[in-house]
Structure 1
Amino acid sequence: MKRLLVYIAFVVLVGFLFFLYGFTGKRNGAKKIKRPVIEFAGGSNNFLTHSSVDKMLIQNSKFVENQPKSVVDLHLLETNVSASPYVENATVFLTINGVLKTFIKQRTPIARIVDKEEPYYIDKHGVEIPLSINHSARVPLVSGVGNVEEIKELIQLITIISSDDFFAKEVVAIDKNAQNDYVFGVRTGSYKIVFGGLANAQLKLKKLKAFYNKTLVDGSIRKYKSINLKYHNQVVCTKQSQDGEQ
């Protein structure tokens, strides 16, 4: 008899716990979503605004704010945000208090491709990023490249350039000409730098920096129309004539 009473008490306790759990879950699910909190990962990109992300937090044609927690599909919302071409990674979750939090890492452009009908940015993975009315990235303007292999090579070149603080700021334009040579436009003057191909890129930049260290100090760099790095262990320059012609 005692054993039976213990068993009945156990069953009642388990049933009560299930009831309490269900009641709490139902009550929690009925809570309304508070205004979403949107946070952007560190960085200087501002392609997306809080209001533009709000427009992505839509479910069943309705903004999620004030909807019951139980009907919110977090996976759907995360998919909506991640679908933006400006988003590299997104996480959407609910807090116990009913706050919908969205963490976003935006894509970081490394170049702006300008010789297409619709200019666009690319990131380090070669992903195309549309131009934005909210933000203009200060990256090199690139022409003469377009296919996948050319973009891959361009990313390698820009990675090498960006590894040096001086050249990261100095090189403002990159053109790949008909001879498949990269030609740089620079911040410090109107002269062009004929870089050539990607081979020996680090050595070429080392030669260029040594040339800069001398000619920027004495001002003689202004005499040149082009600076050619294609030749082994040489920097070949073309001077401007007095009337500005070669």
Structure 2
Amino acid sequence: MKLKRTLKYLLLLILLSSLGFLYGFSNHRNGEKKVEKINIDFESDENNFLTHGMVNKLLIQNDKSVQNQAKSVIDLYRLEKEILKNPYIEKASLFITIDGTLNSLIKQRTPIARVIADDETYYLDSQGVKVPLSDNYSARVPLITGVQKDQNLGEVNQLLRKIIADDFLKKEIVGIHFENSKECLLTVRSGNYKVEFGGLQEIDQKFRKLKAFYNKAFRDSTIHKYKTINIKYHNQVVGVK
């Protein structure tokens, strides 16, 4: 009985050792397999600023393309960090399949405004990050002028996010000018008048007032008679003809 139990444990040990050897051998062979193909996909098929070739050139390790390098030497984490240094890339996810294909899923930054400041011009993305202009693509987004160096772009971004979340405002508002670091003036698509928005407080309430004013002014066709529409004061809209 004792011998039988010993043989049973010995057989189990041999089986486990064999499985470990086979796993190690398979893992070694898999690691030695080379990256034979690079597949690049853009999230939501958006690659306005970037091309597949531009991303491919970012996939560099040991001063050469990762293609034809052994899978075991590819540091995916480091490659992702290098890719994210590109100012047009918001997220990057890399993985290698068993057949030796390196898959790259790239999310491009989404510009929501173009900012013209005293010393620089750039896009502002949905995360409030500055994105440089590109020779490959010019985004049709609201133009922001009068931004001061010390101005809080987070507050500006909050206003922009409210605009792009509303289908009407997204089409209507084409420009934002800061007369100082605290108050802004909106340029609209529907006419030559300006909208005095004021400070970046009570944003939702101000846009509700503007849309209510529009509803009446468009209905009675008086909208084009106005030079300015002031919505910065609490609970009132002042239209100047």
1:196 aligned residue: 198
Inter-partner Cα distance in structure 2 for 1:192 and 1:73 = 54
Aligned CA distance change for structure 1 residues 196 and 45 (closer, same or farther; 3 Å): farther
What does 1:104-143 align with in structure 2 at a 5 Å threshold? 104-143=106-145
2:171 aligned residue: 169
1:86 aligned residue: 88
1:46 pairs with 45, 48, 66, which one?
48
- Aligned-partner residue type, residue 98 of structure 1: G
Q: Which 5+ residue runs of structure 1 have no aligned equivalent?
A: 240-246
Deviation at 1:58, TM superposition (A): 0.5
- Aligned-partner residue type, residue 138 of structure 2: S
Aligned CA distance change for structure 1 residues 223 and 29 (closer, same or farther; 3 Å): same
Deviates more, 1:133-142 or 1:226-235: 226-235
CA RMSD of aligned residues (A): 2.5
2:57 pairs with 33, 41, 55, which one?
55
Write out per-residue CA displacement over residues 93-114 of structure 1, whole angstroms, 9 at most, x where no aligned residue. 1111111011122222222111
Inter-partner Cα distance in structure 1 for 2:180 and 2:13 = 83
Deviation at 1:238, TM superposition (A): 3.0
Q: TM-score, normalised by structure 2?
A: 0.87
Percent identity of paired positions between Structure 1 and Structure 2:
51
2:231 pairs with 229, 232, 237, which one?
229
2:31 aligned residue: 29
Is the Cα contact below 8 Å between 1:228 and 1:236 reproduced in 2? yes
Is the Cα contact below 8 Å between 2:43 and 2:105 reproduced in 1? yes
1:77 lines up with 2:83 in the alignment: no
1:66 lines up with 2:76 in the alignment: no
Query: Secondary structure in 1 aligned to 2:50?
Result: coil
Inter-partner Cα distance in structure 2 for 1:119 and 1:51 = 26
Aligned CA distance change for structure 1 residues 98 and 179 (closer, same or farther; 3 Å): closer
- Aligned-partner residue type, residue 70 of structure 1: S
Q: Which 5+ residue runs of structure 2 have no aligned equivalent?
A: none
Q: TM-score, normalised by structure 1?
A: 0.85
